[in-house]
Structure 1
Amino acid sequence: MCEVWWARPVDPDTAPGLVGLLDDAERARLPRFRLPADRARYLAAHALTRIVLAGAVGAAPAELRFDRSCRCGEQHGKPTLPGGPGFSLTHAGDLVGVAVHDGPVGLDVEHARPLADLAAMAAHVSSPDETVADDSAFFTLWTRKEALLKATGEGLSAPMSAITLGPTGVLAWTGAAAPTGPVWLRDLRPAAGYPAAVAGLGPGPVAVRESDGDAVLRSPTP
């Protein structure tokens, strides 16, 4: 089972209790976001992550210690929870999400909008065997591929064009970032105008359950 929670951004000035759940690194980063909307998304995503993971491992949210080791040796890489499940967080527009799974997992959501240069964006995302017909198709393709790349741990450092998708999932994946085993992929629609996808490494299909993250943030006790 893969669990996904969706929530709205939260203004840090109105939620000191949620800010208190963050660790020193997270609290230091929070005010560095210039726009209030970015601060609200960051707080909601990271507080929600702490609360749902705390419930999974039986700890207090503020006590969780993440490993953020990067390939360069510094603590600014993708966070993992030693001894805990895999997780992935995402945010766009008025929505944040967290996915938790017992294996590597990636979650992505995008706020669909008109694109000024669809052809150029599609060339960046699609493989030679894929066609992007319109803006809606572009954002669906983007969320699927970013979820897959997050699951591998590569994120957008690896090219999306190396992945070819079909109606049932991945048809081909080339390059150094390609996983050696099976992958699974699910489309999600958490809200109107917000295409999303969740993916993981391992055999599928995997059941996905979506839950109300707003309720979790209102009662931050695992």
Structure 2
Amino acid sequence: MPDVWWARPVDPSSAPQLVALLDAHERTRLAAFRRPVDQARYLAAHALTRLLLGARLDTDPTGIALDRTCRCGKPHGKPRLATGAAPAFSLTHSGDFVGVALSDDGPVGLDVEEVRALSDLDRLAEHALSPVERTRPPADARAFLTIWTRKEALLKATGEGLASPMDAITLGPTGAVEAWTDGPGAAWVVDLEAGPDHPAAVAGLGAVAPEVRVHDGAALLR
């Protein structure tokens, strides 16, 4: 069954021990962010991932080799263990929360979105909603972001991410996958809440949604 941990962003200047966990690629990415809030989210998500993988694999978090090769050949794809071994994992961050999901039972995807005003909601809906979904009553920002988290979690589980069209997926009102053009077959999605005004979802492949265990990851980052 998947496990999900939630934590808050961490200012890199206050946590050199977490920065030290990152590999060269991650440190370069961290330094490239101009806004401190983006650096804080990135550090917390990636340090938490390494700490969780280290604990699961009983190994030094700093020595874990990750493969980020995208299908285009560049190193910006969904990260996975370079050995190809379990667990599968997925990380996400938005607003006041970062999250990491681990699964020993196949691919997993995790997404969180901070509820906020969406001035371009109509354009986003045209991009994200399937033709069937667009015939339903229009969603407000929170309802739309809930749908977005479900779909992005599903796409992360396949490893495609937003390189694959969201509007190929049709979800039912409770999030069940009703149709997925050229999709992987059966897939499940479970709604979560990272915190107030932070809807989230975890997803994977298979006909039946497993139990999802949720944990507080904040203590691991102290």
The two structures share one fold, judged by TM-score above 0.5: yes
- AA matched with 1:5: W
Tell me, what secondary structure is at the counterpart of 1:89? strand
Equivalent residue number for residue 89 of structure 1: 91
Tell me, what secondary structure is at the counterpart of 1:114? coil
Q: Say whether residues 1:161 and 2:153 are aligned partners.
A: no
Structure 2 unmatched ranges of 5 or more: none
- AA matched with 2:179: A
Distance apart, 1:72 and its partner CA: 3.1
Q: Say whether residues 1:171 and 2:169 are aligned partners.
A: no
2:86/2:103 contact within 8 Å kept? no
- AA matched with 1:59: T
1:66-215 alignment to 2 at 5 Å? 66-81=66-81, 82=83, 83-102=85-104, 103-130=106-133, 131=136, 132-166=138-172, 167=174, 169-175=176-182, 178-180=183-185, 182-215=186-219
Equivalent residue number for residue 20 of structure 1: 20
| Separation (CA, whole Å) in 1 of partners of 2:146 and 2:204 | 17
TM-score normalised by length of structure 2:
0.93
| Separation (CA, whole Å) in 2 of partners of 1:70 and 1:115 | 30
1:57/1:84 contact within 8 Å kept? no
| Separation (CA, whole Å) in 1 of partners of 2:175 and 2:8 | 31
2:150/2:175 contact within 8 Å kept? no
- AA matched with 2:45: A
Tell me the matched-pair count: 215
Query: Aligned-pair RMSD on alpha carbons?
Result: 1.2
1:1-33 CA-to-partner distances (Å, cap 9, x unmatched) read: 110000000011110100111111111221110
Q: Runs (4+) of structure 1 moved beyond 6 Å? A: none
Distance apart, 1:155 and its partner CA: 0.4
| Separation (CA, whole Å) in 2 of partners of 1:48 and 1:133 | 33
| Separation (CA, whole Å) in 1 of partners of 2:70 and 2:123 | 31
Q: Taking every aligned residue pair, what percent have the same amino acid on both sides?
A: 60
Tell me, what secondary structure is at the counterpart of 1:99? strand
- AA matched with 1:179: P
- AA matched with 2:73: G
Equivalent residue number for residue 34 of structure 1: 34
| Separation (CA, whole Å) in 2 of partners of 1:70 and 1:205 | 27
| Separation (CA, whole Å) in 2 of partners of 1:73 and 1:186 | 31
Tell me, what secondary structure is at the counterpart of 2:4? strand
Once structures 1 and 2 are overlaid, which stretch shifts more, 63-72 or 183-192?
A: 63-72
Distance apart, 1:46 and its partner CA: 0.2
- AA matched with 2:75: Q
TM-score normalised by length of structure 1:
0.93
Tell me, what secondary structure is at the counterpart of 1:156? helix
| Separation (CA, whole Å) in 2 of partners of 1:85 and 1:122 | 34
Structure 1 unmatched ranges of 5 or more: none
Tell me, what secondary structure is at the counterpart of 1:72? coil
Distance apart, 1:74 and its partner CA: 3.3
